[in-house]
Amino acid sequence: MEFYVIQLTILLIMQTKSKLKDIYLFIVWGNIAREYFGKSSSWLYNKMNGRDGNGGEGHFTDEEKGKLKKALQDFANKILACAETL
């Protein structure tokens, strides 16, 4: 059973990172961590890598996924608004 839980955790981490692959290098994640979560950049990087910062598991909760979605939507809207001014 423990092996199954580990495999499922790895799958969840890979799915999250895969969803972000097209934008991962273009975003300053520390700004999103501070502005939307009130946390440090290392906290967000740990979450993206399935760690809690203390060596344990720490993938995103449903609430955190919602906040990340909102942050990315806000960021996208800012980029679109900026592009419209050009």
What are the pLDDT digits (tens) for 9-55? 555 656 666 777 666 666 788 989 999 999 999 999 888 888 877 77
What's the angle, vertex CA 58, arms to CA 19 and CA 73, rounded to 5? 35
Start-to-end Cα distance in the chain = 56
42 and 53 Cβ atoms separated by less than 8 Å: yes
pTM of the model: 0.70
Residue 37, domain extent = 2-84
Assign 64 a pLDDT band (cuts: 50, 70, 90).
very high
Domains of the chain: total? 1
